[in-house]
């Protein structure tokens, strides 16, 4: 699982970390205007951690 640090995340609809996510666990939610992670789908691969240009995602 990963944690998104709200103070660093710019909640971009074209989030590079969401694009890098292998399982579709991380995605931009248009209803709430935020990037979110589905705990049930997360593989713990940390591809998103490396892909985030803001350093907003940390392993948890």
Contact residues: ligand SF4, CB under 6 A:
2, 20-23, 25-26, 37, 42-48
> What's 23's DSSP letter?
S
Q: Minimum Å distance from CB 8 to ligand SF4? A: 15
Residue placing its CB nearer to ligand SF4 in the complex, 9 or 45 = 45
Q: Minimum Å distance from CB 30 to ligand SF4? A: 18
- What are the structure tokens assigned to 27, written together? 């995605």
Q: Minimum Å distance from CB 31 to ligand SF4? A: 19
d(CA 13, CA 34): 8
d(CA 32, CA 59): 23
């Amino acid at each position: 699982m990963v944690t998104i640090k709200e103070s660093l995340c710019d909640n971009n609809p074209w989030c590079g970390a969401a694009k890098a996510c292998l399982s579709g666990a991380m995605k931009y939610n248009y209803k709430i205007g935020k990037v979110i992670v589905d705990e049930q789908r997360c593989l713990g691969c940390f591809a998103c951690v490396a892909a985030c240009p803001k350093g907003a995602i940390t392993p948890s």
